[in-house]
Amino acid sequence: MRKTNRKLAALYDAALAPHGINIAQFALLRNIERRQPVSLTELARLLELDRSTMGRNIRVLQKQDLVLTSRGTDQREAAVSLTERGMTVLRAAEPAWEGSQDAITARIGADRIRILQELNQLL
């Protein structure tokens, strides 16, 4: 299963590379967009990562000027939002993401995609 996951990730990474992001960063940007501003703790919980890992991932996106951190409603917690550049990169990368989805569906079939989605929900 891990080998399959790496191959799938590599397909997405190759498609997203021209936009300067990888599959994990795309997913992170999408989640931030849907919930912004969102606390680092909440984002880590949603994506099932530990808080320190999330902080490192956010710093990488900050260096690329894709996200902005500020103080949330609780002054002890940082909140994350997309920058204008982050929104632009996300919008530009969406067709590449969708193209990858279509290519994978064409290779393995819609029925197998549904099975993978069902298995993912069980995990």
The number of residues making up the chain comes to 123
Q: Determine the Cα–Cα distance for residues 65 and 102; give it in Å rounded to an integer.
A: 29
Q: Which amino acid is at 100?
A: S
Percent of the chain scored above 70 by pLDDT? Answer: 93
pLDDT in tens, 46-67: 999 999 999 999 999 999 999 9
Q: Determine the Cα–Cα distance for residues 118 and 114; give it in Å rounded to an integer.
A: 6
Domains of the chain, with CATH numbers? Answer: 2-122 (1.10.10.10)
Q: Determine the Cα–Cα distance for residues 49 and 27; give it in Å rounded to an integer.
A: 13
Tokens at residue 45, please?
């919980």
Tokens at residue 123, please?
């995990």
Tokens at residue 117, please?
């989605």
Does the predicted model carry a pTM greater than 0.75? yes
- Note the pLDDT of residue 72: 67
